[in-house]
């Protein structure tokens, strides 16, 4: 299995929801993500708590977008899914008092912090509307070459 795909999956779902009228049930979303409804509810709970989506029970219920895609950045979604750890790489904490270890960790941590800052800045600069536009471009291109592709 790949690593943490919650951010990507939620981005995927939110864009689909924007292009879909009426609520989407966890069952329908699960099929989009090739998984099952419980994983969907678990992962989307954070988005609901942060006010990006709403959920309704009972007949005709399901998930609906609560905000315009232009108002949601990748960073917002990253935070809403719980700010999961970004890196596999990490410092060693074998002998916290060892000054060599401290010097090494300072260098590694510094580089990781810079990379994380850049990553989150990029995430903050892109809205879901931007992704949706990119999707439209890809769709138009695919249509120009072949019969309609699945969305």
Partner DNA sequence: AGCTTTCGTAACCAGGGAAGTTGCGAGGGA
Partner DNA sequence: TCCCTCGCAACTTCCCTGGTTACGAAAGCT
Site for DNA, rule CB under 7 A: 1-6, 9, 23-27, 33-39, 41-45, 48, 55-63, 84-85, 88
Cβ atoms of 90 and 75 closer than 8 Å: no
Residue of 89, 94, 95 lying closest to 107 (CA atoms): 89
Among 42, 61, 112, 144, binds a second copy (CB under 8 A): 112
Distances (CA, A) of 81 to 52, 90, 94, 98: 11, 21, 31, 36
Give me the residue label for tokens 């029970």: 57
Choose the stretch contacting a second copy; rule: CB under 8 A; options: 44-52, 54-62, 64-72, 118-126.
Answer: 118-126
Q: Cα–Cα–Cα angle for 132, 22, 78, nearest 5°? A: 45
DSSP bridge pairs for 65: 53
Which of a second copy, DNA, none does residue 104 bind to, with CB < 5 to 8 Å depending on kind? a second copy
Size of the site for a second copy (CB under 8 A): 62
Q: How far is the CB of 144 from a second copy (least distance, A)?
A: 13
Chain centroid to CA 141: how far?
25
Structure tokens belonging to residue 139: 């769709």
The nearer residue to DNA, 43 or 73, going by C-beta atoms, is 43
Q: How far apart are CA 40 and CA 35, in angstroms?
A: 8
Least distance between DNA and beta carbon 137 (Å): 27
Min dist CB 87 to DNA, Å, is 12
Site residues, a second copy (CB under 8 A): 2-5, 7-9, 11-12, 15-16, 32-35, 74, 84-95, 97-108, 110-112, 114-116, 118-119, 122-123, 126, 130-132, 134-135, 138-139, 142, 149-151
């Amino acid at each position: 299995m790949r690593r943490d795909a919650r951010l990507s999956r939620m981005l995927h779902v939110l864009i689909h929801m924007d292009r879909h009228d009426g609520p989407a049930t966890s069952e329908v979303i699960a099929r989009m993500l090739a998984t099952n409804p419980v994983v969907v509810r678990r992962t989307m709970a954070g988005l609901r708590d942060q006010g990006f989506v709403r959920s309704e029970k009972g007949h005709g219920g399901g998930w609906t977008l609560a905000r315009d895609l232009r108002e949601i950045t990748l960073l917002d979604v990253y935070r809403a899914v719980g700010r999961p750890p970004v890196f596999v790489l990490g410092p060693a904490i074998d002998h916290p008092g060892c000054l060599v270890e401290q010097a090494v960790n300072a260098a590694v941590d510094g580089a990781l912090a810079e990379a994380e800052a850049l990553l989150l800045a990029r995430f903050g600069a892109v809205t879901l509307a931007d992704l949706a536009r990119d999707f439209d471009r890809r769709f138009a291109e695919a249509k120009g070459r072949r019969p309609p592709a699945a969305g």
